[in-house]
Every structure is written in C-alpha cells, then in structure tokens.
Structure 1
Amino acid sequence: MADVHPERKERNAYLSSGRVKETTFREWVVANQIGISMTTLAMLLALHNLYPSLRPYTAPFFQLSYYNESTDSYVQGWDDIYFVFSAAVALTGIRAIAIEWVMQPIARASGLKRKNAVRIAEQGWMAMYYGFIWVVGLYLWKTSYYWGDFAAMWSQWPARPLSGMMKWYLLVELAFLMQQIFVIHVEERRKDHVQMLSHHIITSALLGSAYIYAMYNVSNVVLCLMDIVDVLLPTAKILKYLKYETACNIGFGLFMSTWFLTRHLIYPVVCWSVYHQLPLNLTYGCYTGATSEFISAEPPNAFAYMLGPYFSLDNPICFNPTLKWMFLGLLLIIEGLSILWFSMIVRVAYGVVCGGNAEDSRSDEEDEAEVEDQPAHSSVHLAAKDGVTVETIEGEAPPGLDRRRSNGTASVRARGRGRVPFDQSDRKALLGRIGCEKPT
C-alpha cells in the first residue's frame, strides 16, 4: 500500500481519536473577515437609524465631519477618526468579498487551479483599489493650482479648509493603511513582516501629520506618485497568470520605467521642494488655528507647539525648521526603502536579460497538487507603496520550499546551474514575484 501523506495521516489520527484541531483566534478572524466587517457596519447603521438621539455620535462613522456651509469646505477634527475606522472596516469587507466571492470564482471558472486563482484574485483587488484611488488623486492634482508647480504647494499654508473630495481622498488613503496593518497581523506572517510594518507605520504617521498640519497638497502629490506603480504591477502579474507572456513582459517593463520616473526622479524633486522651496514660500512662525492669521515668529513653547494642532483646531499652528526636517526625514526614509526595493528588482531583471537559469526541479503539476491540498488564504499587501518587496508582491512561500504545516519546517528542493550571484532558490522566488518566471 502506498505511503499516506503526512498531513493526511495527521488528519486521520485526529478523526480516529475523536479530537478536532482547534482554530486559533487569528485563523477565525481571517476566515470571517466578511462577516465581522459587515456585522460591525450593520450594527452602527442600525443604531444610527433606529435611535435618532444617537445620530450625533454615529453620523461621523458614515459622513465627513466639520462642514462649513458658508465656504462649502471642511476642516479637520477628532471626529475624522471615526470615519477612518469605518472606512478601514468597509475596505476589509470589500476586499474579502472581491477576492472570495467575485474574482476567485471567475478565475476558477476560467479553468485556473486554486493557486493561480487566488493569486489573480489578490492582484485583481490591488489593481482595482489603486486604479480607482489613483484616478481620484490625479484628478485632484490635475485640477489644482499646484499642478506642474511644486513651489505653489506651500503658497497658501496654513489655510486649513479643504474640499470634500480632498478630505475623503486623504481619509480613505489613511484608512487603507490602517487596514493593511490589520491584515499583516491577522494573516500568515511573511518574512518581511518587520519591513512592511515599519513602512505602514511611517507612511501613516507622515500622512496623518501632514493632514493635521494642513499640508494636503504635498500629500496629494506624493500619493499620486506612489499609487501609479501599484496599478501597473498587479496588472502585469495578472497577465502572467493568464499566460500572456509578451503582454506581461511589456507591462513589467512599463512598471519598472514608471517606478524609476515617479519614485527616483519626480519624488526627489518633491523632497527638494520641501528642503529649498518651502522656506521661501512659507513664513516660519505661528498662526491662529481658525483664521490662519500670523501671530509670532517664535513658537510659544519648544515642544507643546508641535502637539497643539492635534488637540484642537483653535490652537495655534506653527512651523519652523525642526518640523521641516521631521517631515523631510520621513519622506527620505520612504525614498531609501524604495531605492532598496528597486535595486532588488533591477538585480533580478538583469539576471533574466543576461539569460540566467532559474528553473525549478518540480513540475507545475506537482506544485499545484501541493497547493490544492491546503486551504487558500487570501492576503493583500501594499505593493509599491508598502514597498514592492519580493516577499509581498505575491504573498506566498518561495517556490522550492515545501512547507509542512504540521511542524512549521521547510525543506529546500531547488536546483539550478545558472550563473547568478545569489542562491538559486532565492532567485527563483524573486523571479516568480516580479512576473519574470516562465514555466519549465
């Protein structure tokens, strides 16, 4: 009799002994993302409609707060946190519905096996979200007074009113970052978990602080430069899974070109604008929170002035070289991460162009069979904005590693004779994640 697969033998042992494998809280949350998010929103909506006395407290979850009818504009405030929370919950449910109920069934109906169906669903959600939010951001930038003139980004500071569309755009982008922090903690942890978490925290702190300090313009520009990459990469990945190799190669080339243009040419110009043009167009000092009238050239307190705008719109809003360097430092950290990730991608692309060998000893059918025996867990990470690392673009274990869920170990099964400057199994993983892998 043929040997029984170790995982199947373990499952049979559980059944024969009458024991059922317990589900961890994390696994339960992953399996019930739709139910949890939809139930939370339904409860808030029920309280809002059934109890009119609670509407002042529930309304901020469903609509933008701090509207001024006389100017037809909005300002910031603590109630914006409720909108960010409900938007993050909604994005969690929409993401799970799009992947599990729409994109994955369509992919399976098209004849794809579970592995590629899950991958296409994940990349489809990324392309859908970033494609939509990038169009919104580009529209705001294109119709603004600072289109094509980075120095103009600082000319009207600290004017705090903003349009409803701009406020919605910035809060949804912040909610998406919050949702991604939730995702990387509840779903299976990746090797680059620390890098991803660090990137999300830095980006969230930068976007949130820029929103509080009324720097909407530079936030809009930076987000547009980042989001376009996240539209192109998932599109190239989808073409790869659909076996359109030529279109995939063209898409990947467009992705690399756009990455270099937006993140390493235009983005440094934005950083230079913060360093050089901001002091020329923005007078250092303190302004009234409500009317933006100049008060004094020196902050009243060396530390408290930085926290004042966080607590109340009526508190003075101040800006000096210290705050400039804090904002610029966070922007440069993100640029440093982008340079690191881009160098990894270029390294792999160079190996492909030079004809390096990256084949895997296992056939596609064997790899599919292993995946079919395991439950599919959808996972979506920020690609370029979260750092297009080779570990997070596709959200899977590197090919050549046979993961055993029973003991958490992995055995390396990759071979190859390609003349490349790093390990073949690692190179195989890199190729698969940027769309350059071809089936052997």
Structure 2
Amino acid sequence: MAALSAWFWSERFWLPHNVTWADLADPAPGLEYPKAGHLLAALPLALVIFSVRIFFERFIASFCAQSLHLQPGVGRRAQPNAVLEKVYTSITKSPDSRHLDGLSKQLDWDVRKIQRWFRHRRNQDKPSTHTKFCESMWRLTFYLCIFIYGFRFLLQSPWMWDTRHCWYGYPYQVLTPGLYHYYVIELAFYCSLMFSQFSDIKRKDFVIMFIHHLATVGLISFSYVNNMVRVGSLVMCVHDSSDFLLEAAKLANYAKYQRLCDFLFIVFSVAFFLTRLIIYPIWVLNSTMFESWDIVGPFPSWWVFNILLLVLQVLHIIWSYLISRIAVKAMLRGKVCNDVRSDIESSSEEDTPTEGLKTPAHSPKGENGENGTNGHCAASKAQAQHRNSW
C-alpha cells in the first residue's frame, strides 16, 4: 500500500521539475497551499447540499410549481389488474402482438383496451411536470448562485484580467479562502449529483451521466491537487455562465410561457457559443497551453491537464453543433418548441404508442386533445446534448 501511494503521489508526475511536496508545506502561519486532504471537506458538504435540495424542492419549488398550476401526480391511472401488472413489472412494458393476443384471450379483453392499459400504466411511471419543474428550479438556483459567487470573486482576482497571473510563481501560490470555498462548493455539488442521481427522475443515460459526474469530480480534484486552481476557477466560471439560462428556459417551458422560453433559449444559445467557442479557447486554453509553457514549462501532470481541457473543447464543438441544429429547426418551424422527447427529459422507458392509430410524430396534442407528454421546449432537447460541466 505504501508503495502504491508513493507511486500515485510521485513528485515527478504532479509537480514541476525540482519541486517536492516538502516545498509546498505551509509557507507561514495562516497561509497554506492546496492539499489533497482539503477535498475531503466536500463529502459532508455534499450531504448538506443534498439535504438542502430536498427541503428546497419539497417546500419552495413545489409551492412555486403549484402557484403556476403544476400539480404533482399523474393524470389518468390504469385500473388495478394483477395479471397485467405482473406482465408490466416482470416481462415487458410495451407488449408485442404475441403478448397482446395471449393477454386478450386470458382476460377476455379487447386488444385495444389492453394497449390502452399499458399506455396509462407507463404514464404513471413518468415524472410529472411538477417534479421536473422542481428539479430544474433547484439547479437554476444553485447554478445562478455559484456563478454570481465565482464571478464576484474573480472580479477581484488579478488572473481574471491577466491570465499570466495564473502561472507567475507557480506552484508557490497561496490558497485564498474565496478560492478554496469556490472549489469545495463546486466539488460538493457534483458529488451531491452523484448521490441524488439514484433518487432523481430515472433517465436512459443514467450510467453515462454517472460517469460524467465522476469525471467532473476527478478533473476538479486533479486541478486542485497540483495547484492549478487559478486557471481552474476560470474554467468553472466559463461553464457556470450558461447553466442557469438553460434551466430558466426549461422552467418557462414547464410553466407554458412559450415566448419567454423562446427568448431564454436564444439567450442561452448565444451565451453558450460565446463562452465555449470563443472565450474558453482564446482565454483559457491559450493560457494553459502557451502562457504556462513560457512561464513554467511542461511537466507530466501539465500534459494530462491540457489534454483533458482539449477533450472538453471537442465536446463543446459537438454540443454547439447539436444545439445549433435544434435552434435552426426551431426557427424554421417558427417557434422554439418541438415534439422530440430528449433523453434527458424522458424516463427510462419511452411511451411508444402501441395502438393501431399512433399519435402523429409532430402533433402537439395527445389523446383527448390534451397536451401530449412529448411536447418539450428545445431547451430540454438541448440539455440532452449538453450537460454543463468541466
């Protein structure tokens, strides 16, 4: 175990040439450099954030949703039937013609009646608009608060205005309380997402998003351990800048404020393109790749950090392309709303109509003339392509 620890914390990997961990001992009373042990504070804080979220969604967000006439629960429920319930939970949620014929003979029900039962039963498992509203309102609140905090902190930091200050004196850069709190809160939030994912709306991309959150936690921790926190704070601020706009657009969509949803989605798209395709590469990548090379020089963890940031830029380009496609299609239709259910907004099982006459693919109305469950703002579709993070 000691040999493994020594290998993992090798100074030749983590630190520039001729720098040791002993050199990064606290320089003076009341002053210190980032240490891996500091990150342990994020774990209990993540539990606190998770508890705050439960309280917020249950009392504050739920009250706001109900004031907008978004009631919890589902609409029409399937009538109790032990046979169909056993098939639904143990065999299939969308029976094919062979199962339908067998159930029709066993229950002496019309096939269309059985199809209708399964459709209602699937709808029971789908999250209500009320639930999705509460989740989005929590994310909007956190993203907006952490962005304001980080932006205000960076306004007072010299590296906000001259990124070369990220590397002057590196790695002997004292950790300030504001920077420490910014990092630990961000890390704790993404840890809390890993906890809450098991109680959130069940989505088809559960495993992918869990790996995503794990990678985000890893990258934040990585930059903290080798004291690249100054440039790391810039990366976090750039990514936080558009998160709350997407959530705001989704809230407007759930509340059926279509024009507001359209406007917020456009603002989100512009902010995303500016921050991810212009500010991030010109401001951040230029500093991590070229300014740091001139001032500090490369070393193993420097290469790893820059490769990860370049991979992130590739994802930005892919997300931007997908979001632009959504925006163009929306504008051609004259509105930002479409009827394509996103992976992010759907539950683990899609509600594929199995009756003879299917709902038109682009119809905004479902059965009985009510709003169909597939009507989502393009903001929801965009989030399927983009989870803002590192």
Q: TM tier, shorter chain?
A: 0.5 to 0.7
- Report what 1:195 is aligned to: 208
- Report what 2:61 is aligned to: 103
- Report what 1:433 is aligned to: 380
Task: Indicate whether 1:137 and 2:95 are aligned.
Answer: no
Q: 1:76 to 1:274 in 2, by over 3 A?
A: closer
Q: Which amino acid aligns with 1:279?
A: W
Distance 1:188 1:112 in 2: 17
Distance 2:310 2:208 in 1: 16
User: Offset at 1:347?
Assistant: 1.3
Structure ranking higher in helix proportion: 2
Q: Which amino acid aligns with 1:124?
A: M
User: Offset at 1:417?
Assistant: 6.2
What does 1:243-322 align with in structure 2 at a 5 Å threshold?
243-269=256-282, 270-282=284-296, 284=297, 320-322=298-300
Distance 1:339 1:151 in 2: 26
Task: Indicate whether 1:340 and 2:321 are aligned.
Answer: no
Task: Indicate whether 1:416 and 2:366 are aligned.
Answer: no
Q: 1:165 to 1:352 in 2, by over 3 A?
A: same
SS in 2 for 1:402: coil
Distance 2:381 2:338 in 1: 15
Q: 1:326 to 1:228 in 2, by over 3 A?
A: same
SS in 2 for 1:276: helix
User: Offset at 1:124?
Assistant: 1.1
1:313-351 Cα distance to aligned partner (Å, 9 max, x none): xxxxxxx34322210111122222232223222212211
User: Offset at 1:80?
Assistant: 2.2
Q: 1:390 to 1:324 in 2, by over 3 A?
A: farther
Distance 1:91 1:273 in 2: 33
What does 1:77-116 align with in structure 2 at a 5 Å threshold?
77-114=35-72, 115-116=128-129
1:41-84 Cα distance to aligned partner (Å, 9 max, x none): xxxxxxxxxxxxxxxxxxxxxxxxxx979664443345424411
Q: 1:435 to 1:263 in 2, by over 3 A?
A: closer
- Report what 1:292 is aligned to: none
Distance 1:184 1:206 in 2: 19
Larger RCO (CA within 8 A; separation ≥ 6): 2
Distance 2:249 2:243 in 1: 10
Matched-pair contact (CA < 8 Å) for 2:133–2:251: yes
RMSD (CA atoms): 3.4
User: Offset at 1:105?
Assistant: 2.8
What does 1:112-261 align with in structure 2 at a 5 Å threshold?
112-114=70-72, 115-261=128-274
Q: Which amino acid aligns with 1:240?
A: N
Matched-pair contact (CA < 8 Å) for 2:36–2:225: no
Q: 1:207 to 1:417 in 2, by over 3 A?
A: closer
State the aligned residue count: 293
Matched-pair contact (CA < 8 Å) for 2:140–2:248: yes
Give the unaligned 5+ runs of structure 1. Answer: 1-66, 285-319, 362-388, 404-409, 419-424
User: Offset at 1:189?
Assistant: 4.1
Distance 2:241 2:290 in 1: 26
What does 1:352-363 align with in structure 2 at a 5 Å threshold?
352-355=330-333
Identity %: 24
TM-score by length of 2: 0.66
User: Offset at 1:155?
Assistant: 1.4
Distance 1:259 1:191 in 2: 25
Distance 2:161 2:40 in 1: 34
Q: Which amino acid aligns with 1:346?
A: S
Q: Which amino acid aligns with 2:327?
A: A
Matched-pair contact (CA < 8 Å) for 1:99–1:125: yes
Distance 2:217 2:309 in 1: 12
User: Offset at 1:261?
Assistant: 0.5
